[in-house]
Structure 1
Amino acid sequence: AAAYPADPEDSDLTALTVLEETAEYLGAGFADLINLFQPERILVGGWAGLQLGTRFLDTVTEHAKEYALTYPAARVSIGLGTLGPDAVTVGAAILPLADFFARGGRRADPETAGEQPAWASTVRERTAH
């Protein structure tokens, strides 16, 4: 037996079935987030959001609201992010800025910066010899 359907229409139907099932799982995952954190908004982004978002976002939203508790589900909106495939990079780049602003725009005090990682002491010991 062939691993893939021989008819291209069967392949399209199989792919569509897998994507619809994935949309249900994603909606169920969003429902868990909605129940736990009660967010006002969930944004789907990155490459998956760009490729699949417009086609399956309504299905994901329906499943999320079906699986979530009624009250938090009524208060959340689910949409597509606008940062595109660079969303994770932009988010990571903002982390040092958020830390800087949390300290009131001051540099971290080296004495209170916290415990050094174990590898740092090993490197210091090896370079001392």
Structure 2
Amino acid sequence: QAEMWFGAGRGARSAVVVLFGSGVGACVVTDPTGPGRAVEWGHLKVRVRGRRCRCGALGCLEAYAGAEALLERWREAGGRPPEGADEETALTAMLTAAYPAEAGTAPDATALAVLEETAEYLGAGFADLINLFQPERILVGGWAGLQLGTRFLETVEGYAREYALKYPAAHVDIGLGMLGPDAVTVGAAILPLADFFARGGRRTEPEGEAAEEQPAWATTVRERTAH
């Protein structure tokens, strides 16, 4: 909601906002002023008889692309996430190892390989969103999405366009959300406002017995006014 009103979704009639954190989720918006529809995109199947997801099923996108799964796959491949670090700190370490900032520093081949494989899985997942919903925009957010997106969103987009149907793929823009980690908080704060607008800017009047019941403070005010 926040991205559609104030962020990267402004002006679009339809969009999919995907959030990456410990897991993976998405929200489909077909009315810029209305509420979005949550979809279990993270449990889309990207590999038959694949990794066991924390939901219990096999081959889910979340089993490959969520921060928890990324760090687990890095560890299984021989990587060394910082001991005792939280997921955000460990993911930062993984990205720094794969894409070192210092010139002349060799990237960690293991971390890089896991991330490159993940980019293809995500591209396939984006392609499914494109084929199913044909959105004008796909916006990436969430604390992990913002970290990952700045590093390899271009690669993910390349795979998405390769795997998706050509026509809808040619009519979608893929990018990062503009509101950063505060997007969800801002969106939650404006939900009452969105509901108010949806009702035409009018309060819902109580009906029946509810209309007759008055809160205690209203009775007190009337009594004091009478005296």
TM-score, normalised relative to structure 1: 0.72
Q: Are 1:55 and 2:151 an aligned pair?
A: yes
Alignment equivalent of 1:69, drawn from 165, 179, 183? 165
Equivalent position to 2:190, from 67, 79, 94: 94
For 2:79 and 2:193, locate their aligned partners in 1 and report how far apart those are by CA, in whole Å: 51
Q: 1:68 to 1:106 in 2, by over 3 A?
A: same
* 1:91 CA displacement: 2.1
Please, which of 121, 129, 138 is the counterpart of residue 42 of structure 1? Answer: 138
Distance of aligned partners of 1:111 and 1:30 in 2 relative to their CA distance in 1, 3 Å threshold: farther
Structure 1 stretches lacking a partner, 5+ long: 113-129
Partner of 1:100: helix, strand, or coil?
helix
Show CA shifts across 1:38-89 (max 9, x none): 1111111221232121210111101111111000000001011111111222
Which structure's residues are more often helix, by fraction? 1
- Give unpaired runs (5+ residues) of structure 2: 1-75, 81-96, 99-105, 209-227
Taking the aligned partners of 2:116 and 2:79, their CA distance within structure 1 comes to 18
Within the alignment, does 1:27 sit opposite 2:123 as a pair?
A: yes
Among candidates 14, 31, 36, match of residue 110 of structure 2: 14
Aligned-residue identity in percent: 80
Greater RCO, CA 8 A, separation 6+: 1
- Checking the alignment, whether the CA contact within 8 Å between 2:124 and 2:163 is kept in structure 1 is yes
Q: Between Structure 1 and Structure 2, how many residues are aligned?
A: 109
Mapped to 2, the partners of 1:34 and 1:109 lie a distance apart of 41
Structure 1: which amino acid aligns with 2:173? S
Greater per-residue strand proportion: 2
Aligned twin of 2:35: none
Alignment-mate amino acid for residue 25 of structure 1: Y
8 Å Cα contact 1:44/1:79 also seen in 2: yes
Q: Distance in 2 between matches of 1:36 and 1:49?
A: 22
Equivalent position of 1:81 in the other structure: 177
RMSD of aligned residue pairs (Cα, Å): 2.6
